[in-house]
Structure 1
Amino acid sequence: MRTWGPLTAVCLGTFMLLLDVTIVVVALPDMAGSLHASLGDLQWVVDGYALALAALLLGAGAAADLLGRRRVHVVGVVVFAVASLLCGLAPGPGTLVAARAVQGVGAAAMLATTLPLLGSVYQGRQRSVALGVWGAVSGGAAAVGPVLGGLLAEGPGWRWIFFVNLPVSVAAVWLTLRAVPESKGPRGMRVDWLGTLAFAGFAGGTTYGVVRAGEDGWAAAAPLVSFGLAALALLLFVVVEHRVTHPLLDPSLMRRPAFVGVMAGALAFNGVAFGVLAYTSIWMQTLLGMSPVHGGLALLPLTGAAVVVAVLGGKLLHGVPARLTVGGGLLLVGAGSFGQAVLGAGSTWTALVPGLVLVGVGTGLVSPALAGAALAAVPAERAGMAGGAVNTFRQLGYALGVAVCGTVLTSRLGETLPHEAAHTLAGGGAAALRDTFGEQALRSAFASGLNTAYAVLGATGVAAAVLVFVLVRPDRTARIAVTKSSPVTLMEEETASRG
C-alpha cells in the first residue's frame, strides 16, 4: 500500500477524467435520439466538459497549493462523481450539458493536483517508475475511450458511460484518503480568482460565438456579441495578470517566442487531431449504419498508432529536440487531416485509415513532447506554470476544434440542403431526412462537409507546425527532449518551483 497506493489512487482519477474527454464521441448519435438533442446540444456535451477543464485548470492548481493538494483532489473526485450521476440521469440535453460542465470543474481539480501529489510521495527512481505508469495510463485512457463508449452505448445504454465512474470514484477517494499524504505550496500564495473568471469568460465566449455562428451565421448578432464579450474578457485577463502578485500566467512569458510557439502548438494540436471525431462518428453510425462498437473500433488506427509511437518514441528519440518532434508531429497531424479529405458518397470508413494512422503517429510524437518544450522555453521557477498552461491550451484547443468543425460542417451542408435539414443531418438525424432527400444526396452532402472540415484542420496543423519551427529555437529545446523521463523532469521542476 505504501508503494502502490498513492500511484493507484492518482491513476484512477486520471484515467476517469481523460476517458471522459473521448468516451462520449461514439455515443453522441444515441444521445441525440434519446434526448432529442440538436447539433448545438451535442457540441456542448463535448465542449462543456473541455471548456470547464481548460478554464479552471490553472486556478485549481493555485487553490490546491493554498488549501492542500490532497483535499482539492478529493473534492474534485467527489464533484466529478456527483456530476457523472447527474449526466446519467439527465432527462434532457440542457441538464446533460450542465452536468458535463460540472464534471469539467471536478476534472480540473483532479488534473491540477495529479503531478504535485505524485511528486510529494515518490522520489528518485520510484518517481520515474510512478510517472512512467501514470503516462501509460493517460495514453491508455484516450485509446480505450471510443471502444469502451461504444460497448456501453450498444450494451446497457449511453447513460452507463457516466454511471461507470461512480464505483471508480469511490475507490479513488478511499485510496487517496488512506494512502496519499497532504501537501501544500509555499506560504504567502494567493489564488487569482479574477484572472480565473476572466479567462473562463474569454474561453467560453469564443467557443459560444463559434457554435452560434454555425447556427445563425458569422454576421448574426449573437456570435458578434459573444466575440465582443470574449475580447473584453481577454483584455481584462491581461490587465489582471499584469497587476496581481501571483498571476495564473506570467505575462512576461508571452514575450518569449519559444513559449508562444509551444502554446500555439498546444492550442492547435488537440483541436486538429481530435476536433472532428465527433462528426466522423455521427457519419459512421447514421449514414454508414455502423454500430457504436464498430464506430469505436474504426478509430483504433489513430489511438493505437498514438500509443505505440509514444512508447517507442521514448526509446528511439532520445536526445532529439522537442522542437523537431512537436513541429514534425504537427506536420504529420496536418497531413493526416488532409489525407482524410477524400470522402465521397460511396466511401466507407476504410477510406479514413491512412489519414487516421498519420494523425496517430503525429499525436504520439507531439503529446509527450509538449511539456518538455514548454519547460525548455521558461525559467525553472516558472516550470509549474508552463506545465499547467500546456494542459490548459490543449483542452481549449479541443473545445474550439469541436466548435469550428461543427460550424464548417453545417455551413458546407447548407450549400446543398435547406438550413434546418443541414443541422438535422449534422446532428445525427439522417433517418428523418431519407424520404425527403434520398440516401445518395445525404451521403454526398455529409462527405463534402467532412472533407471541408478535414481540410481546415489540415491547414491549421501545418500552420501551427510552421510557427513551432520558426519560434521555438533549437538551443531552447535541446535541454529537454522527448524521452521517457520528460514527465519526471516536469515534476522535479514543478516541485522545486512550488516548494
Structure 2
Amino acid sequence: MNRHRGWTLALVSTATFMLMLDLTVVYVALADMQETYSSSFSALQWVLDAYAVGLAVFLLTAGSLADRLGRKRVFLAGLTVFILASLACGLATDVIVLSTARAVQGIGGAVLYAVGPALIGHEYRGKDRAVAFGLFGAVTGLAIALGPLIGGALTAWDWRYIFLVNVPVGIVALALAKLRLHESRETDPRPVDWWGLSTFCVALALLTLAVLRGEDQGWTSPIILGLFAAFALSLAFFVAVERRAGDDAMLDLRLFRNRTFVAMGVATALCAGSFMFAIFIFTAYLQNIVVLSAWEVGVRMLPLTVSLFVAAAVSGALAERLPVWAVTGGALLAITAGLLLVTSVNAESAWTAILPGFIIGGAGMGLFTGRRSALAIAMVEPARAGMASGINVTFQQVGTAIGIAALGALFQNRVSADFAQSTVGHVFGEEAAASVAADGGSRVFAAAGQPGLAAQALDAARSAFMVGFDVVMVVAATVALVGAVVAFAFIRRRDLHETSVN
C-alpha cells in the first residue's frame, strides 16, 4: 500500500484542483464569453449556476455509490465525465450548449470531490493521515485562490482554454489513476438506494436553484417560493424514504445524533458561506476600485494564496498537538479577524492595505480546509467514508451557494441604495445605480455625456461600492464567528469513530 498511497494523494489532489479551479476561473472570462456569443449577462449567469447545481446535487449520491460500487471505479467514472464535459465546454457553439456542458461538468466534479477524501482515508492512517489531508486541503485552497490568476492568463489567449486545459491534464490523471489507485468498497455491499439517491438529488437541485435565482427573480416571487416549498416537500419525502430503507439507506440518519457531525457540517457551511463570498468581493474590489486587470488581481492575491496553502499544509501537525475543536474553532476566528481587518481600506487605499486581512483570513481558511475532510470521514467506520465525505461537502457547497446569493444580494442592495441617494445618482436613475455593484461604476462613467458629470458619477460609485464592501465584510465576519462558536461548543474528540486516530 505504501508504494501507491503517494500516487493516490497526488491524483486526488490534481483532480480536486481542476474541479475547484473551475468554480472561480469562469468569473474572469464572462466578459469575453459575452462578446463571443453576443449574449446577455443574465444568460451567462447559467454558465455559473449550472456548474454549482451539478456540483451540489450529486455530492452525497457520489459518495454513497462509491462505498457500494467501489471508490476507484466511481472516481474513474467521475474523472471521465469531467474530462468529456470540459471538452464540450471548450467547443461549445452557444450559451445553451455551454451551460448544459457545465452542468455535466459539475456532476463529474461532484464525484471527484466526494470520493477523493475517502480514497485518501483508505490509504493513510494515524499521523500520516493528518499530514495527507493537510496537503489535500492546501491544494483545494490553492485552486480557489489561484482562480483569478490562472483565469486571467488563459483568457488572455482565448477563454476556451480555461476548459480545454482540463483535457490533457485529465487524460494523464485518468491513465495514472487506472494504474495506481487501489480499489476499496464496503466488504458486504448493500443494494443501491435508488429512491434515496433520486429524491435527494431533486431536493438539492430545487434548493440550489432557488438560492441562485432568488435575487434575480425576487425572493418573494411565486417561482422562488414554489421552489423552496418543493424543496421542503422533497426533503421530507427523502427523510421518510431513508427511515424506511434502514441499513440500506444512502444516508445514515443516525449520524445526526452525533453532535460533532452536525456541528462540523454547520461550521463547514458557515465557513464556506463567509469566505468564498469574500474571495469574490476581494476580486471585485481589486478590479473595480484599485482598477487592476485579471492577471494583476491574481498576482495581488498571491499573499492570500500562500497563507492559505501554508496553513493547510501545517494543519495536520497542529491536529497532533491541539484538540479538534481548538483547530477548527481557531481557524474560524482567524477568518473572522481577517474579514474585519479588510474593512479598514477605502477607495483611495493602496492595494497593500488589504494584505493583513488577506494573510490572516487566508491562514484561517487554510487551517479549516486542512481539517475538514479528515474530520468528515473520522466520524464513521471506514466502509462509509464516501457517504460521510459526500454529506460534508454537500454542506460546503450549499453554504457557498447560500452565502454568495445572500451576501451578494445584500452587497448589491447597499451599493445601489447608497449611489441612488447621492446627488449624481438622482441624475442617472435606478438602472445606473443597479450597475454599480457589478462594475464599480464603469458603465456609469461610459454612459455620461459630460466629463465633469462622469467624474462625479464615478466618485459616487466608488464611495457606494466601499459602503457595500464594509457592510458585507462585517456580516461575513459575523457568520464566521457563529461558526467558531459552534465549533468551540459542540465539536469533541469522543464523537469520532473508534477506527480514527485524529
> TM-score, normalised on structure 1?
0.84
| Greater share of helix | 2
The yes-or-no answer on 1:431 pairing with 2:442 is yes
- Corresponding position of 1:449: 468
Q: 1:139 to 1:386 in 2, by over 3 A?
A: same
Q: Give the alignment of 1:27-426 within 5 angstroms.
A: 27-31=29-33, 34-35=36-37, 44-118=46-120, 134=136, 137-153=139-155, 155-245=156-246, 246-316=248-318, 318-374=320-376, 383-415=385-417, 416-417=419-420, 418-426=429-437
Higher alpha-carbon deviation: 108-117 or 24-33: 24-33
Is the CA contact 2:271–2:479 (under 8 Å) kept in the aligned structure 1?
Answer: no
Unpaired segments of 5 or more residues in structure 1?
Answer: 481-485, 491-499
Partner of 1:493: none
Relative to structure 1, the CA distance from residue 304 to residue 368 in structure 2 (aligned partners, 3 Å threshold; closer, same or farther) is same
* One-letter code aligned to 2:197: T
What is the rounded CA distance, in whole Å, between the counterparts of 1:42 and 1:121 in structure 2? 41
For the structure 1 residues 420 and 187, does the alpha-carbon distance in structure 2 shift closer, same or farther, using more than 3 Å as the test? farther
CA contact (8 A) 1:259 1:378 kept: no
Q: Which amino acid aligns with 1:404?
A: A
Of the structure 1 ranges 411-420 and 170-179, higher mean CA displacement relative to structure 2 is found in 411-420
TM-fit CA distance, 1:272: 0.9
AA of the residue aligned to 2:443: A
Q: Give distance in 1, aligned partners of 2:361 and 2:474.
A: 13
Secondary structure at 2:320 match in 1:
coil
Change in Cα spacing, 1:123 to 1:352, as seen in structure 2 (3 Å) is: closer
Aligned position for 1:495: none
Partner Cα separation in structure 2 for residue 248 and residue 472 of structure 1:
24
The Cα of 1:326 is off from its aligned counterpart by 1.1
Farther-moved stretch of structure 1 (320-329 vs 422-431): 422-431
Displacement of 1:30 in angstroms is 4.2
- The answer on whether the counterparts of 1:55 and 1:200 sit within 8 Å (CA) in structure 2 is yes
User: What per-residue deviation string (whole Å, max 9, x for no partner) do you get for residues 324-346 of structure 1?
Assistant: 11112112212322322345443
Q: One-letter code of the match for 2:62?
A: A
CA RMSD of aligned residues (A): 3.4
Q: Which runs of 5+ in 2 are unaligned?
A: 421-428, 449-453
TM-score, with normalisation over the residues of structure 2? 0.84
* Aligned mates of 2:475, 2:358 — CA distance in 1: 16
Supply the distance in 2 between the matched residues of 1:124 and 1:341 (Cα, whole angstroms): 41
SS at match of 1:352: helix
Describe the shift of the 1:162–1:47 C-alpha distance in structure 2 as closer, same or farther (beyond 3 A).
Answer: same
Match of 2:477 in 1: 458
Aligned residue pair count: 482
In 2, are the aligned partners of 1:54 and 1:108 still within 8 Å (CA)?
yes
| Paired position in structure 1 for 2:423 | none
Identity between Structure 1 and Structure 2 (%): 37
Residues 191-230 of structure 1: CA deviation (Å, up to 9, x unaligned): 3333333333333333333343322433332322222222
Q: Larger deviation: 74-83 or 418-427?
A: 418-427
Aligned-pair CA distance for 1:25: 4.1
Q: 1:157 to 1:427 in 2, by over 3 A?
A: farther
* SS, match of residue 315 in structure 1: helix
Which is further off, 336-345 or 95-104? Answer: 336-345
In structure 2, do the counterparts of structure 1 residues 375 and 184 end up closer, same or farther at CA, with 3 Å as the change threshold? closer
**1:93 offset after TM fit, Å?**
4.2
Mapped to 1, the partners of 2:280 and 2:234 lie a distance apart of 29
For 1:433 and 1:191, how far apart are their aligned partners in 2? Answer: 55
CA distance in 2 between partners of 1:425 and 1:462 (Å): 29
> 1:162: Cα distance to partner?
0.9
* Counterpart position of 1:24: 26
Q: Which residue type is aligned with residue 89 of structure 1?
A: L
User: What is the distance in 2 between the residues matched to 1:421 and 1:122?
Assistant: 55
- Partner in structure 2 of residue 496 of structure 1: none
In structure 2, what is the equivalent of residue 472 of structure 1?
491
